[in-house]
Amino acid sequence: MIVEKGRYIVLKDPQETLESESLGSCIGLAGVDEETQVIGLWVFVLPAAKILSRPCNGVPPAFFAAEGLDEFLSSLEEAGARRDQLKLVAAGGARFLEAPTVFDLGGLNASMLRKLLKDRGLNLSGEKLGRPFPAKIWVEPSGKVLVKITGVEEESW
Amino acid sequence: MVKVLEYVFEELNSVPNFPETAFRALRMLEDENINFNDLAKVIRYDATITANFLKLVNSAYIGLRRKVESLTQAFALLGLNQIRFFLIAACAGQYLNRPLRGYDLSPYEVWLHSLGCGVFAELISEKIKAEHQDHIFTAALLHDIGKIVLDLFVGGELEVIRELVEEEGLSFMEAEIMVLGTDHAVVGAELLRRWGFPQEIIFAVRAHHDEDWMVQNQTSAVVALANTLVNLLGIGMGADGLSYRIPPALLKTVGLKDKELFDVITVGFQRYQNLKENLLHK
């Protein structure tokens, strides 16, 4: 199942793999509780809604890191996951070789995610963030999380 | 390298011409008092363009209430700029419908990248009230056309190109030039020159990754910005990814403020997503 940008999908006793499209500077965050067999994948685009100069209708909270993280975590918990045994893996957050700060969305997204997780006492078990090349992340029904960056051997957690 | 360049030019010669029907229609669209029945007669001569045009119009983000089944029905609902946009997009689809293995892109990703860039270019043009909107979205829809020629050659040298990006700090385009003697922007511009497109469009395609040239005029800057945003969003992002440099003057040349950029990303992504979802479900 493809998880579109600005959305998340959570599955209990999964039969299907959850996968992102090419992430660019967006970040895909996988959440897995192997014990309770819950998997989830969330792809956010911007660090926070307050970055916009005016509210934009029809944009889901999951489009933003700050507004979407708690919704994603709650959804994992509602499906039966326990927060203290979650495996969290992040990928994407691509950055240009050189660009004015306003274009460094990958850097902004990664910083925001790390801060939000730290505030909630959570850590990433693995991350592949900030490379300039395309990345994809997917979560298998077994709970295995894989990240593939073009031209680099895939890694798993 | 000289040998590679010879092959690149041989490949360039093998690309079919841009449809004459489209050029005739675009020339007619320069007249604000155009007769839409005459325009329909010209376009419907090409069944592929007509089918693609109607499919795109019915999938678009403009919120049509009922399915459009004929060109004249479509023209009655669209503005001149929207007709130009869908006409170019309908033609571009004929070239951007195959895998680009060298750039690690499926046909679907190639097409979405082009459409996404067109959607963002159109949105930015509206916002800044750009002078040459038709040139902007033509260049945006066709900006990566050079990749269809260079793909085979990049595929053979991708590892060397990546090494130059990672170890020497070159942009992907600089590495393409080092290894192949040319890059996809130069090749794309040459293709458009042969097809007879206006100089402003050719320059914008040539400049879309060149940090000095993309800020020479507003049309080039808008096309480069649209491409930058589509890549940031990972839409049809090829193996070159974000291995480029963005000049500090880009937003100023476009005529956007820093704080407006995130609004453009959000609204543009919504429009693109709507178009993509409708295209997939038709």
Task: Give the pLDDT of residue A139.
Answer: 98
- B 88-147 residues inside an 8 A Cβ radius of A: 104, 109
Task: Give the pLDDT of residue B281.
Answer: 58
Task: Give the pLDDT of residue B64.
Answer: 62
* Domain residue ranges of chain A, discontinuous segments joined by +: 2-156
Task: Give the pLDDT of residue B109.
Answer: 86
CA distance B60 to chain A (A): 17
Residue written as token pair 């290894």: B179
Task: Give the pLDDT of residue A108.
Answer: 96
Task: Give the pLDDT of residue A25.
Answer: 97
Q: Looking at beta carbons, which residues of chain B come within 8 Å of A131?
A: 241
Task: Give the pLDDT of residue B151.
Answer: 85
Q: What is the Cα–Cα distance from B51 to A38, expressed in whole angstroms?
A: 45
Task: Give the pLDDT of residue B62.
Answer: 55
Judge: domain A2-156, CATH 3.30.1330.200: yes
Residue written as token pair 């990814």: B241
Residues of chain A with pLDDT under 50: none
- The type of residue at A101 is T
Beta-bridge partners for B100:
B105
State how many domains chain B has: 1
Closest CA to B17 of B198, B195, B197, B205: B195
pTM over 0.80: yes
Task: Give the pLDDT of residue B119.
Answer: 92
ipTM: 0.93
Q: Residue A8 corresponds to which tokens in the numbers above?
A: 């998340």
Q: Where in the sequence is the domain holding B153, given as residue range(s)?
A: 2-280
Name which of A64, A101, A133 to mutate to probe chain B: the one with the most chain B Cβ atoms within 10 A of its Cβ. Answer: A133
Mean pLDDT in consecutive groups of 10 residues from the start of chain B, 282 residues: 74 85 89 90 87 84 70 87 88 83 84 91 94 89 89 83 86 87 91 91 95 95 97 91 92 94 96 81 53
Nearest residue of B to residue A104, measured between CA atoms? B232
Distance of CA B7 to the CA centre of its chain: 24
Report the CATH number that the domain containing residue B42 is assigned in CATH: 1.10.3210.10
